[in-house]
């Protein structure tokens, strides 16, 4: 098969591993810099150009689109979909998962466990918003934040009001979530491929920190997840429409709750913690499922 990896940097661990795994299994794999691909949006023959050449003949595409270039990356991916190339994750599903609020609303509609979450626009509604999520301590998140950036924990209602007023004054979109104290600064990253959790690790925040992201000095360890956690992760990925997803779960007193569904999960932490060949399993999934013109949404919004 001829596989494209849509990535800004061929030297990133995840990109490199996907290329290695694809070539090990006998495929032709090529990394395409997302921002250097440009499109000819013609009615009968949509095409993608790259550094002066026309890209064609690809059977599948693996999108590794960074959060900061979601809009352009999704447009490039949509163009590949219109050309009949099989996407590992569809453009619609990626856009859906990148919108934190929309993704939580979709998960809530399908009954997936979530932390109590509030969203408001007017500073006048701040006191009620804080009460809605059970009062302080609580967590405030910027909707555009990634890797733990733009996430603030407020110990008191007074601190929460000040932070919310500051963010609203900057016209930032924010949501407020209950703080799951019993999780003890740990979350579980489940890596879903197809309808299976193929690997899971526990991420523990460093002392004095509540964000467990590995980028922020968190540590990772092996964990055995419960059938309920497994089912929650698979359902969350399915609701988003993602074939491959990193689903972040917290253990709460009322069962597993989903924090986030990531459409381009990093492979380094999970591969080194679990010892599993995650990149190889992703390529295997493509081999079994890639067919031309298979996009469920056919390039629609």
Contact at 8 Å (CB) between 133 and 116?
Answer: yes
Q: For 188-223, how does the pLDDT look when each residue is reduced to its tens digit (9 = 90+)?
A: 999 999 999 999 999 988 776 666 566 656 788 999
Q: How far apart are CA 280 and CA 72, in angstroms?
A: 28
What is the per-residue pLDDT for 120? 87
Nearest to 183 by CA among 251, 101, 263: 251
Q: How far apart are CA 54 and CA 38, in angstroms?
A: 10
Q: Do 20 and 90 lie in a common domain?
A: yes
Q: Do 190 and 269 lie in a common domain?
A: yes
Residue ending a domain, among 142, 163, 179, is 179
Find out whether 125 is annotated in a ligand binding site.
no
CATH number of the domain enclosing 78:
3.40.50.20
pTM greater than 0.85: yes
Q: For 220-265, how does the pLDDT look when each residue is reduced to its tens digit (9 = 90+)?
A: 899 999 999 999 999 999 999 999 999 999 999 989 999 999 999 9
Q: Do 187 and 161 lie in a common domain?
A: no
Residue ending a domain, among 63, 95, 127, is 95
Find out whether 9 is annotated in a ligand binding site.
no
Q: For 91-116, how does the pLDDT look when each residue is reduced to its tens digit (9 = 90+)?
A: 999 999 998 899 999 999 999 999 99
Find out whether 187 is annotated in a ligand binding site.
yes
Find out whether 213 is annotated in a ligand binding site.
yes
Structural domain that includes position 214:
182-285
Q: Do 85 and 124 lie in a common domain?
A: no
Q: Looking at the 3D structure of the chain, how many domains does it have?
A: 3
Q: For 121-130, how does the pLDDT look when each residue is reduced to its tens digit (9 = 90+)?
A: 888 899 999 9
Find out whether 260 is annotated in a ligand binding site.
yes
Contact at 8 Å (CB) between 10 and 31?
Answer: yes
Handedness of CA 96, 98, 99, 103 (dihedral sign): positive
Cα-based distances in Å from 119 to 105, 130, 146, 250: 11, 10, 18, 20
Find out whether 296 is annotated in a ligand binding site.
no
Find out whether 110 is annotated in a ligand binding site.
no
- Asked whether residue 139 is assigned to any structural domain, the reply reads yes
pLDDT-derived band at 298 (thresholds 50, 70, 90) equals very low
- Asked whether residue 100 is assigned to any structural domain, the reply reads no
Q: Do 171 and 204 lie in a common domain?
A: no
Q: Do 48 and 90 lie in a common domain?
A: yes
- Listed in sequence order, the residues at least 6 apart from 97 whose beta carbon sits closer than 8 Å to its beta carbon are 103, 240, 242, 245, 261, 262, 263
Asked if the model's pLDDT at residue 273 lies above 50, the reply is yes
Find out whether 124 is annotated in a ligand binding site.
no
Q: Do 199 and 259 lie in a common domain?
A: yes
Q: How many CB atoms lie within 10 A of CB 140?
A: 23
CATH number of the domain enclosing 197:
3.30.470.20
Q: Do 191 and 278 lie in a common domain?
A: yes
Q: Do 171 and 192 lie in a common domain?
A: no
- Asked whether residue 110 is assigned to any structural domain, the reply reads no
Nearest to 237 by CA among 220, 260, 215: 260
Find out whether 98 is annotated in a ligand binding site.
no
- Asked whether residue 105 is assigned to any structural domain, the reply reads no
Give 6's strand partners: 32, 63
Tokens of 170: 């900057």
pLDDT-derived band at 147 (thresholds 50, 70, 90) equals low
**What percent of the chain clears pLDDT 90, i.e. is strictly above it?**
72
Tokens of 270: 């999970």
What is the per-residue pLDDT for 209? 61
- Asked whether residue 112 is assigned to any structural domain, the reply reads no
CATH number of the domain enclosing 129:
3.30.1490.20
- Asked whether residue 198 is assigned to any structural domain, the reply reads yes
Q: Which long-range contacts (CB under 8 A, 24 or more apart) does 104-112 make?
A: 104/175, 106/239, 106/240, 107/236, 107/239, 107/240, 107/258, 107/261, 110/235, 110/239, 112/232, 112/235, 112/236, 112/239, 112/258
Q: Do 140 and 129 lie in a common domain?
A: yes
What are the backbone dihedrals phi and psi of residue 80, each rounded to the nearest 5 degrees, phi first?
Answer: -60, -40
Q: Do 139 and 53 lie in a common domain?
A: no
- Asked whether residue 126 is assigned to any structural domain, the reply reads yes
What is the per-residue pLDDT for 217? 61
- Asked whether residue 107 is assigned to any structural domain, the reply reads no
Residue ending a domain, among 179, 203, 227, is 179
Unique residue bearing structure tokens 């994750």: 89
Find out whether 141 is annotated in a ligand binding site.
yes
Q: For 150-161, how does the pLDDT look when each residue is reduced to its tens digit (9 = 90+)?
A: 788 899 999 999
Q: Do 168 and 205 lie in a common domain?
A: no
* Mean pLDDT on 16-35: 98
């Amino acid at each position: 098969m001829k596989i494209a990896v849509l990535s800004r940097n061929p030297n990133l661990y995840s990109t490199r591993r996907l290329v290695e795994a694809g070539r090990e299994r006998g495929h032709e794999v090529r990394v395409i810099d997302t921002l250097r691909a440009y499109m000819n949006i013609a009615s009968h023959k949509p095409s993608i150009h790259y550094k002066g050449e026309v890209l064609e003949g690809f059977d599948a595409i693996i999108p590794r689109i960074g959060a900061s270039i979601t809009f352009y990356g999704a447009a490039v991916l949509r163009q590949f979909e219109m050309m009949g190339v099989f996407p590992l994750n569809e453009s619609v599903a990626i856009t859906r998962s990148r919108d934190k609020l929309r993704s939580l609303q979709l998960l809530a509609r399908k009954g997936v466990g979530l932390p109590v979450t509030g969203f408001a626009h007017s500073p006048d509604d701040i006191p009620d918003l804080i009460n809605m999520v059970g009062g302080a301590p609580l967590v405030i998140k910027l909707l555009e934040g990634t890797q733990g950036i733009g996430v603030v924990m407020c110990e008191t209602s007074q601190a929460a009001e000040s932070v919310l007023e500051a963010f609203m004054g900057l016209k930032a979109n924010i949501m407020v979530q209950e703080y799951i104290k019993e999780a003890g600064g740990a979350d579980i990253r489940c890596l879903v491929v197809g309808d299976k959790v193929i690997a899971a690790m526990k991420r523990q925040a460093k002392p004095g920190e509540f964000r467990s992201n590995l980028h922020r000095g968190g540590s990772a360890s092996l964990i055995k997840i419960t059938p309920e956690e497994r089912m929650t992760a698979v359902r969350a990925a399915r609701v988003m429409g993602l074939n491959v997803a990193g689903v972040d779960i917290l253990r709460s007193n009322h069962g597993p709750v989903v924090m986030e569904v990531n459409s381009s999960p990093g492979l380094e932490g999970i591969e080194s913690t679990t010892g599993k060949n995650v990149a190889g399993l992703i390529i295997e999934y493509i081999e079994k499922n890639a067919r031309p013109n298979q996009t469920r949404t056919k390039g629609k919004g």
